[in-house]
Homo-oligomer: A and B are copies of this chain.
Amino acid sequence: MPSYKAPVDDTLFLLNDVLNIQRFGNLEGFADASPDLTGQILGEAGKLCEEVLAPLNASGDANGCKRHPDGSVTTPAGFKSAFEAYAGGGWIGLSAPPEYGGQGLPYSLTMVMSEFASSANMAFAMYPGLTQGALAALLTHGSPEQKKLYAPAMIEGRWTGTMNLTEPQCGTDLGLLTTKAVPRADGAYAITGQKIFISAGEHDLSENIIHLVLARLEGAPAGVKGISLFIVPKVLVNADGSLGQRNGVSCGSIEEKMGIHGNATCVMNYDGATGYLIGEANRGLNAMFVMMNEARLGVAMQGLAQSEVAYQNALAYAKERLQGRALTGPKYPEKKADPIIVHPDVRRMLLEIKAFNEAARALALSAALDSDIAHRSGDPAARQAADDRLGLLTPVLKGMLTDVGFENAVKAQQVFGGHGYIREWGMEQFVRDARIAMIYEGANGIQALDLVGRKLPREGGRAIMAFFKEGAELLGGHSANEAMKPFVAPAQAALADLQKASMWLMQNAMAKPDNAGAASYDYMHLLGRVALALMWVKIAAAALEKQVREPETAALMEAKLTTARFYMERMLPETSLRLARIVSGADTMMSLAPEMF
C-alpha cells in the first residue's frame, strides 16, 4: 500500500521564503494569510488528504464507479463521506467570495489543496475540482440572480459542477459541435444533444449537479462563433433554491478507461433539457475559457501531484530495499546488501523527480499568486503584468507539469523493479492516473499551439518580452554573488536558448505557419525548463539567505542547493536540444504525403 505525506513544509518554504507571499498583504484575503494561519490551513489540508482521501485511492481504483439501469451512478465506497468531510471543511470555497459563503482566501491556497488532494486521490479530487471550475465560470459570467441561485450550494458542496464540451465528433475543434439550444416561451432553452467524456457527470456525492453545457442556438453562425453556454441542472432549481423536478439530462453510460476509475466519466444525453443561457449568446467559448484556464492550472497540479506521491513512495522503497552493494564497496556491511539508494542510477531517477517537483511547485504557486494579483490587485499595471505572466505560463504549466509528471510517475515505478508493475504496490495506479492529465483540458499539443499561436504574439509579444526582462533582472541581481554562480550561469545560457528560439519563431513563423506548429511542442518545453531554472535561482538565493539567518535549517537548505545544482547540471542542458529541434523547421515533416507514412 503506498503512503502519502503532504509536503506542507516545502510549500510553506516556497510561499514564505521564496515567493514572499507577505508582500501581498494589501490584496483582499491575503491579510488573513499570515505565515501562522497559512501553516495551520495547510496542516489541516494535509491531514484531510493523508487521513481521509489517500486511504480510499487504491480501493477507489479497484472498485470504480457503477452505473445502474436507472442511469444513477454510485461512486466507490467511502467517497461520499470523504466528500462530506471535504465540503464540510470549507475546502471547495476556500478562495471563493465570502458573499456566497466562500472564505475569500488566496487562490494560491486552493492550488496547494489541489496538489495535496490530487496526490492523495486524484479521482476523488476531480469532483470538488470540477465544481470549482464551474463556479469560476458562473461567478465571472453569470447574472446576479444565477450566482445567487447556484453559487452558495456549490460552495457548500451540496451541489457539484461539470463542464460539457466534447461530443463524439468534436473535442479540440469545438466549432463542429451540434448540441442544440431551442428558445422556449419562458425564456429558458431546450437543450438536445450528446456529450462525451464528462468527468463527474453523474454520481451520488451531491443532491444536484450543475452542468455547464456548450450548445448552438438555432440559427447561430457556424463554427466557434455560434456557441453559447448554458446552465443545465440535473434537478431543476426553484426560485427559492429548493429542488424541483428532475431535468431531461441523464447519464447514458460510463467509460471503461485506463485510470481515474474512481471518477465517473460519463456519456451525457440531453433530451430537451431545460437550460439557462449564461453570459452572452454566441460567446459561450469565451465564458467557458474562464473555466478552462482555471481547470488547466488544476490539471497541471495533477501532474505535479502524481509525480510527488510517486516520488515519496519510490524514495521510501529505495531506502528499504536491499539489493547489491555500492560500486565503491559496501555502505551497510552489517546488512545482507545495501539499500538501493546507494546506486548512482537510482539516485539519478530520484533526483530527476525531486529537482522537477520542487521547482514545478514553485512555478505553479507563482502562477497562482499571479492569478490572485490579476483578480485582486488595485494597481492596473500590476494586474496586467500578472495576467500576462499567467496567460503565458498556463499552457506551459499544463503541458510541462503533466508530461513530466507522467514521466516521473513512470520513473518512480521503475525504482520498484518488478514490484512496480504489480497492483498492490500502487505505483502503476499513479502512472495510469497521471496519463489522463496529458490529454484532457486540451491535449498537450493544443497547449503548445495556444502558447505559440496565441500567447506569444499577443500584444506584440508583451508577455514574453516581460518574461525575458524579469529573467534578466533576476539573474543580473545575483550575478555578483559567487555562491550563486553555479545557478546563474546555466540559467543565463538557457535563457539565451529561449531567446534564440523566440527570435527564430518571429522570423520564420509568420511567413510559414507550419514552422510555428512544428516548433510549438519543443518551445513549450523549452520555456518550461527555463522557467524552472529561474525558480531554482530564486530557491537557491532564498536557501543561501535562510541558512545564515536560521542555522538550524542549514542541512535542509544545503539539500535545496544540491538539488538546484543537479537541475542545472543534468536537466537544464535539455534547452539546447529543444532549440536544435525548433530551428530545424517544418519542411521535412511536412514533405511526407499522408499515404507515405
What CA separation (Å) do A185 and B115 show in the bound complex?
64
Q: Please, which residues of chain B bring their CB within 8 A of the CB of A339?
A: 594
Give a binary string over A562-576; 1 marks a CB under 8 Å from any B CB, 0 the rest: 110110011001101
The winner among A420, A445, A573 for most chain B CB atoms within 10 A is A445
For the complex formed, measure the closest distance between the CB of A431 and the CB atoms of chain B, giving whole angstroms: 7
Q: Is the CB of A584 within 8 A of B569?
A: yes
Given contacts A173-B337, A518-B345, A597-B315, A591 and B562 within 8 Å (CB-CB) = yes
Answer whether residue A354 sits at the interface, using C-beta atoms and an 8 A cutoff.
yes
Determine whether A517 belongs to the interface, using a CB cutoff of 8 Å to chain B: yes
The answer to whether A323 and B423 have CB atoms under 8 Å apart is: no
Q: Which of A410, A512, A563 has the most B CB atoms < 10 Å from its CB?
A: A410
Known interface pairs A323-B170, A422-B257, A435-B410. Does A577 touch B573 (Cβ–Cβ under 8 Å)? Answer: yes
A513 surroundings in chain B (CB, below 8 A): 327-328
Q: Decide if A586 is an interface residue (CB 8 Å cutoff).
A: yes
- How many copies of this chain are found per oligomer? 2
Q: Are B324's CB and A172's CB within 8 A?
A: yes
Q: Chain B contacts of A126 at CB under 8 A?
A: none
* Pair B581/A258 contact, Cβ less than 8 Å: no
> In the complex, what distance in Å separates the CA atom of A255 from the CA atom of B428?
13
State whether the Cβ of A171 lies closer than 8 Å to any Cβ in chain B. Answer: yes
Asked whether, in the complex, the Cβ of B414 is within 8 Å of the Cβ of A445, the reply is yes
Given known contacts A520-B345, A597-B354, A569 and B592 CB-to-CB distance under 8 angstroms:
no
For the complex, what is the distance from the CA of A592 to the CA of B560, rounded to whole Å?
10
Closest to A344 in B: B517
Q: Is A243 an interface residue (CB 8 A)?
A: no
Instruction: Please report the C-alpha to C-alpha distance between residue A224 and residue B343 in the assembled complex, in whole angstroms.
Output: 19
A235 part of interface (Cβ distance < 8 Å): no
How many angstroms between the C-alpha atoms of A173 and B340 in the bound complex? 11
Main secondary structure of the interface of A (DSSP, over half): helix
Closest to A581 in B: B570
Q: Is there an interface contact between B418 and A258, defined as CB atoms closer than 8 Å?
A: no
Docked complex: A243-268 residues within 8 A CB-CB of B: 255-259
Residues of chain B within 8 A (CB-CB) of A258 are 421-423, 428, 431-432
A341–B173 CA distance with the chains assembled, in angstroms:
14
Which of A9-17, A37-45, A436-444, A475-483 lies on the face that meets chain B? A436-444
Q: How far is the CB of A400 from chain B (nearest CB, A)?
A: 15
Contact with B along A402-426 (1 / 0, CB 8 A): 0000100010011001101111100
The 3 closest A-B pairs by CB, nearest first: A344-B517, A258-B428, A327-B513
Q: What are 20 A-B contacts defined by CB distance under 8 Å?
A: A172-B324, A172-B417, A256-B424, A257-B421, A257-B428, A258-B421, A258-B422, A258-B431, A327-B517, A341-B597, A345-B448, A345-B521, A348-B589, A417-B443, A555-B596, A559-B592, A559-B597, A562-B596, A563-B592, A573-B581
With A173-B323, A259-B421 given, can you name 17 additional A-B contacts, CB distance below 8 Å?
Answer: A170-B323, A171-B323, A175-B337, A196-B418, A256-B423, A257-B423, A258-B428, A344-B514, A345-B448, A345-B517, A406-B410, A418-B439, A432-B432, A556-B596, A569-B588, A573-B577, A576-B577
